[in-house]
């Protein structure tokens, strides 16, 4: 299928472009290169449209010129903390931008959409593991933007027959096993890359945000899912929709949680280097524990993560950071 990958020059998008290409789909990258990387586009060697969701003409051009049959939508700002400080940026980009995209899809009769949602739509868990029927009560604007789009997808499906798969990711992490693609955010705020930057000596220390949570070691617990497993889930979700499967919202995680302190220790083990930490106050918008019940992904998409342990995930990320940790500037 011809698949427009919106945000395909970014971290998860680029890995998914590769996974689509590897199984014979024809991905086309659409990206404004604000946070995405021209060098990732070059490495992937697929058609590229430089455009912005807030310029609808760009989207129409991409959909029409490439005769797009399905869209995967990754283009969003994704920093929980920043979304609390600057919600306007998040609602404008993540919500308004998506309305423009869905409208363009509607008028170009593109009826399949795989959307990057998030476990941040659940808010504070009321159960040790989250399944898809857990109430969705986000505790930060980032989570709200994603939940609003999920609701739009439900309504567009009902009214216009646009089929969707909303993939509720847990914590995307790691890099492609061969080091071709990786995680390169500016600024970097995610836990695993920050630990690696401290190990490498690029940063002095890691602030642990909160050591008084009601967890076994007082720090937050997250479910780290390898980016190539996430990419594979997108391909399966697309196949599900194109095979006339029902629209769905589905968790993509490993089902195992690791605390912030465990990630620090694992980084030390993988790198053989110390990760100096500073115990710091809680960060606004953080839920104490987010761990997936990924039964539905297994049953409906026949998807299982290949990376089920933290260490190999950190190893792939370390490989990327040892090489350089950044894409060359175009």
Footprint of ligand UDP (CB under 6 A):
80, 171, 189-191, 194, 206-209, 220, 222, 260, 283, 286
What is the Rg, in whole angstroms, of the alpha carbon atoms belonging to the chain? 19
Residue (80 or 104) nearer to ligand UDP, CB: 80
Residues 6+ apart with CB under 8 A from 268: 199, 274, 275
Shortest Å distance, C-beta 208 to ligand UDP: 5
Is 142 part of the annotated catalytic residue set? yes
Residue 112 has, within 13 A of its CA and on its CB side, a CA count of 21
What is the bridge-based pairing of β-strands 258-259 and 221-222?
antiparallel
Residue (286 or 315) nearer to ligand UDP, CB: 286
Shortest Å distance, C-beta 262 to ligand UDP: 11
Shortest Å distance, C-beta 96 to ligand UDP: 22
Residue (210 or 305) nearer to ligand UDP, CB: 210
Residue (212 or 299) nearer to ligand UDP, CB: 212
- Report residue 28: phi and psi, to 5°: -125, 125
Query: What Å distances lie between residue 184 and 99, 125, 170, 175, 327, CA to CA?
Result: 27, 30, 18, 10, 7
Shortest Å distance, C-beta 117 to ligand UDP: 13
Shortest Å distance, C-beta 98 to ligand UDP: 19
Residue (64 or 205) nearer to ligand UDP, CB: 205
Residue (169 or 303) nearer to ligand UDP, CB: 169
Determine the residue with CB nearest ligand UDP.
220
Shortest Å distance, C-beta 6 to ligand UDP: 20
- Catalytic pick from 79, 90, 142, 327? 142
| Catalytic residue positions, numbered | 142
């Amino acid at each position: 299928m011809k698949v427009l990958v919106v945000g395909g020059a970014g971290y998860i998008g680029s890995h998914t472009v590769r996974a689509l290409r590897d199984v014979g789909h024809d991905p086309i990258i659409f990206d404004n290169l604000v946070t995405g990387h021209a060098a990732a586009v070059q490495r992937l060697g697929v058609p590229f449209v430089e455009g912005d969701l807030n310029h609808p003409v760009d989207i129409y051009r991409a959909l029409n010129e490439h005769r797009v049959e399905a869209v995967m939508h990754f283009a969003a700002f994704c920093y929980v903390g920043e979304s609390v400080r600057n919600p306007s940026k998040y609602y404008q980009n993540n919500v308004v931008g998506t309305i423009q995209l869905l409208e363009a899809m509607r008028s170009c009769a593109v009826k399949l959409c795989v959307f990057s949602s998030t476990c941040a739509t659940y808010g504070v868990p009321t159960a040790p593991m989250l399944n898809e029927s857990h109430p969705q009560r986000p505790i930060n604007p980032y989570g709200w933007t994603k939940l609003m789009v999920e609701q739009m997808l439900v309504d567009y499906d009902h009214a216009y027959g646009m089929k969707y798969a909303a993939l509720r990711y847990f914590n995307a992490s790691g890099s492609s096993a061969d080091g071709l693609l990786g995680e390169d955010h500016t600024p970097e705020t995610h836990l695993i890359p920050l630990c690696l930057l401290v190990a490498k000596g690029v940063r002095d220390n890691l602030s642990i945000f909160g050591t008084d949570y009601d967890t076994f070691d007082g720090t937050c617990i997250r479910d780290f899912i390898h980016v190539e497993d996430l990419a594979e889930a997108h391909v399966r979700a697309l196949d599900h929709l194109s095979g006339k499967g029902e629209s769905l919202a589905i968790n993509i995680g490993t089902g195992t949680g690791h605390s912030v302190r465990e990630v620090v220790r694992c980084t030390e083990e993988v790198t053989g280097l110390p990760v100096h930490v500073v115990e710091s106050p809680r960060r606004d918008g953080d839920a104490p524990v987010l761990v997936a019940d990924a039964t539905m992904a297994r049953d409906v998409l026949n998807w299982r993560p290949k990376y089920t342990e933290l260490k190999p995930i950190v190893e792939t990320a370390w490989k990327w950071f040892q090489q350089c940790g950044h894409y060359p500037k175009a």
